[in-house]
Amino acid sequence: MGILDGFLSLGRGINILKREGQEKEEGAQEPFEKEADLTLKDEDLLELKKKWEEKWDLYVPEIIKRQKECENYWLGKQFSVAEINAGRPMMDNAIFEGLETFLPVANRRNPEPQVLADDTPEGQDLAKKVQKMLVFHSDRLRMKLKLKMVVRYWAIYFLGVLKVGWLERENDLTCSVIRPTKLILDPEAHIEDVNYTGEYIGEIKRETASILINRFPKKEKFISQEVGGNLGTKVQYTEWWTNRIVFWTLKNELLGKAKNPHWNEGEERPFMDNMGNVQQELVEGKNHFPQPIKPYIFFSIFNLGKQPHDETSLIFQNLALQDLINKRNRQIDKNADAANSGLSVSGDYFTEEQAKRAEEALRKGGVVFVPQGDVRAALHRDQPAQMPAFVYNDLVDKRQRLLDIFGVRGTAPTGQLNEPTVRGKIIIRGSDESRIGGGISEYLEQVADAAYNWFVQLMYVYYDETHYGSVLGGLEGQNVIA
């Protein structure tokens, strides 16, 4: 192992400790594991896969619980089963408003690629072509919408993930947003900038059995048995990535394995030495990256370096406030209902059943008919005490605090209404944009930057024929790039 290998190994899980407060303990921290490589036997790769899944199963239950809670609150499922069964509960989903107001502000900037080259005319011409091709792919792949979805997933699932790759049917590079719940990560890894420090990533995928057989024809018998011969059945399997290799598993079967396809390996070529003898030399493959890496880009902000997922999120921080908002709304609603009730009736004029119907009629704004006698002696309307003003003021305060945590108090409609002057609206809106743009948007720009660098790497690997792109811009009009 060289110095560079030793330095690169610092990012592996063996240097990341498991237990809280273990940072000062020296010595071996975990049993040695073989590094995933194509030289390993199938059973060895399956054994690694088993260990990875066991570690994940110990880590993920608490994460799933938090993810589900945040997802339900964003959807508006914020009540108990009993409250839901009683009818549609009254709700003011401030979390949904906060997040969906936050997203356009965070994604307002459209990250544009910048390509640097030497000062030669050829270098500058190449830089312009590459830059325009990246703009073309950004538009073709709807990158701005994908980045918006990445941020939404991050807020709900504590992590945002982009995956890049090559699409055979389009013969061009592709980029997709991965729902974090589909990933199996190293619990001892974390996210540095946009880079994942773990050795492996597992992605849970689904395909029909027929497509899976086309990809792995040697496993046709096994796959057919799994679906009972019904080749239209959806099959769930796992795609495992390390920096060097990718392999696929279905239960305890290895479907296939391969080198990282997004990397140009070096090759040996013959050459004539000074003595006239034919020798072999290793010619390095042309790549944009210095070494092969996994094709995933991560968006993470509230991470303390202890785990791959963020420790908290904007939604998670607002759960208690949303509960208080719902509680205050229920209190105000009950007080409003009480304004139409508070009825006392005399048993000389009404039976118990008639009294209930009289209360219901008054609640709905109807009339109570007393056939004879003094109406005032038959029934009496009690005037309920007015709800203290602090209840409504507290509701307004909690909504504003929730929007403050999202950083959109001045951007949300309620914040705009509370500011009477145009100048005031501009100031509070600018404050929101400054906070989000100086924080969240900077991280998002790094995700876009990583994606553009990946696009260049994929061009190095897969562009073995001319590809064309078309962009519009400035005085040059429409440009066709080849």
pLDDT tens track for 29-51: 555 566 777 888 999 999 999 99
Over range 473-479, report the average pLDDT. Answer: 47
Nearest to 200 by CA among 55, 312, 310, 74: 55
Residue 204 lies in a domain: no
| Amino acid at the residue 123 | G
CA 75 to chain centre: 15
pLDDT, position 431: 53
376 within a domain of the structure (yes/no): yes
Round the average pLDDT of the chain to a whole number and report it.
81
Residue 177 has pLDDT above 70, yes or no: yes
Q: pLDDT tens-digit profile of 185-213?
A: 999 999 998 999 999 999 999 999 999 99
Bridge partners of residue 26, in order along the sequence: none
Q: What pLDDT was estimated at residue 111?
A: 80
Query: Is 390 inside any structural domain?
Result: yes
More confident residue, 304 or 33: 304
φ, ψ of residue 267 in degrees (nearest 5): -140, 155
Q: Report the pLDDT value the prediction gives residue 15, as an integer from 0 to 100.
A: 40
The widest CA-to-CA distance across the chain, in whole angstroms, is: 131
207-230 per-position pLDDT tens digit = 999 999 999 999 999 999 999 999
How many domains are contained in the chain?
Answer: 1
Retrieve residue 422's tokens: 């145009």
- Reported as a pLDDT band with limits 50, 70 and 90, residue 12 is very low
Angle at 283 between CA 280 and CA 287, to 5 degrees: 165
Would you say residue 479 lies in a domain? no
N-terminal to C-terminal alpha carbon distance within the chain: 42
Instruction: Using the predicted structure, report yes or no on whether residue 13 has a pLDDT greater than 80.
Output: no
Per the domain annotation, does 419 fall within a domain?
yes
d(CA 217, CA 356): 73
Q: How far is CA 344 from CA 10, 27, 359, 363, 364, in A?
A: 78, 79, 9, 13, 17
Q: Is it the case that residue 286 has pLDDT exceeding 50? A: yes
Lowest mean pLDDT among 341-350, 393-402, 421-430: 421-430
Name which residue leads in pLDDT, 22 or 168: 168
Cβ within 8 Å of residue 425, ≥6 positions away: 410, 416, 419
Whole-number pLDDT of residue 78: 86
Looking at this protein, which amino acid is placed at residue 447? V
Question: Within a domain: residue 373?
Answer: yes
Share of the chain above pLDDT 90, in %: 49
Q: Per the domain annotation, does 64 fall within a domain?
A: no
Identity at 186, one-letter amino acid code: D
Tokens of 252: 């305890």
Tell me what pLDDT residue 249 has.
96
17 vs 181, which has greater pLDDT? 181
- pLDDT the model gives residue 473: 52
pLDDT, residue 220, reads: 94
Question: In angstroms, rounded to a whole number, what is the distance separating the alpha carbons of residues 200 and 196?
Answer: 9
pLDDT band at 366; cut points 50, 70, 90? low
Percent with pLDDT over 70 in the chain: 72
Domain that holds residue 425: 319-431
Report yes or no on 415 lying in a domain: yes
The more confident residue out of 17 and 108 is: 108
pLDDT tens digits, 434-447: 556 557 888 899 99
Residue-level pLDDT at 276: 67
Using alpha carbons only, what angle is made at residue 20 by residues 17 and 21, rounded to the nearest 5 degrees? Answer: 90
The whole-angstrom separation of Cα 93 and Cα 73 is 8
In this prediction, residue 4 carries a pLDDT of 38
Angle between helices 440-462 and 143-157 (to 10 degrees): 120
> Residue 275: pLDDT above 60?
yes
Residues 237-246 have a mean pLDDT of: 96
Q: Under a CB-based contact definition with an 8 Å cutoff, are residues 222 and 253 in contact?
A: yes
